[in-house]
């Protein structure tokens, strides 16, 4: 393990019951970073929702339909979901579970 630097952020340890969020692309990582920069509080709530209850259907979290409804990763097919961090905003993130 590398030595810690003064002022370095301490990463939040996930609970054993939480899901992990991973970026599938560099564009997804940039999009997440941009959303955090503009709607930080909503993205914190998004993080909590997605790590605890990502399969809950709500007005802001739902399965995608049609050809966008599934994605293949590592030879497995996963349902794709869309999550909107705010009810009125246009920001959204997609993921496969």
Q: What is the pLDDT of residue 94?
A: 65
Residue 77 domain-assigned (yes or no): yes
Task: Report the chain (97 residues): mean pLDDT per 10 consecutive residues.
Answer: 81 88 92 94 95 95 95 92 87 65
Residue-level pLDDT at 19: 92
pTM of the model: 0.78
Domain assignment of residue 18, yes or no: no
Domain membership flag for residue 8: no
Predicted local confidence at residue 24, as pLDDT: 86
How many Cβ atoms are within 10 Å of 78's Cβ, its own excluded?
13
Please tell me the distance from the alpha carbon of residue 73 to that of residue 70, in angstroms, as a whole number: 10
Evaluate whether 78 touches 95 at the Cβ level (below 8 Å): no
Count of the separate structural domains present in the chain: 1
Whether residue 30 is contained in a domain is answered as: yes
State the residue range of the domain holding 92.
26-96
pLDDT for the residue numbered 5: 82
Q: Spell out where 1-97 has E strands.
A: 61-63, 70-73, 76-83, 93-96
Helices within 3-94 (DSSP H only): 26-38, 40-52
């Amino acid at each position: 393990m590398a030595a810690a630097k003064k002022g370095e952020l301490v990463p939040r340890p996930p609970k054993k019951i939480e899901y992990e969020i991973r970026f599938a692309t560099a564009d997804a990582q940039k999009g997440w970073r941009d959303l955090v920069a503009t709607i930080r509080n909503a993205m914190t709530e998004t993080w909590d929702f997605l790590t605890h209850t990502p399969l809950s259907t709500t007005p802001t979290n739902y399965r995608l339909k049609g050809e966008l409804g599934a994605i293949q990763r590592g030879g497995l097919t996963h349902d794709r979901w869309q999550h909107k961090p705010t009810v009125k905003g246009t920001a959204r993130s997609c993921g496969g579970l």
